[in-house]
Amino acid sequence: MLAKYIIETGSTVRAAAKRFDVSKSTVHTDVSKRLLLINPALAGRVRLVLDENKAQRHIRGGKATKEKYARLSEKG
């Protein structure tokens, strides 16, 4: 279920963990190690999504910081 959710939504590990109410470590272990033993093809598809998310995380982090300081300047 985790793998299909990540593939269908392009979700991050953190978002998937929140959606399924489990830890990030559990999601990462399930989709990168356990799934590889159960369904290697599906694990490969999940890996592509996770790699893309990893490549974009610096952009998302920059946007979050920009929004944070924009909110702070509106208040202050």
pLDDT tens for the chain, 76 residues long, are 999 999 999 999 999 999 999 999 999 999 999 999 999 999 999 999 999 988 887 777 787 788 888 888 888 6
- For residue 9, the tally of other CB atoms under 10 A from its CB is 12
Domain extent at residue 8 = 2-75
To the nearest 10 degrees (0 to 180), the angle between helices 2-9 and 40-75 is: 60
- For residue 73, the tally of other CB atoms under 10 A from its CB is 8
Domain count, the chain: 1
The Cα 38–Cα 53 span in angstroms is 23
Instruction: Give the pTM.
Output: 0.73
User: Strands, DSSP E only, in the chain?
Assistant: none
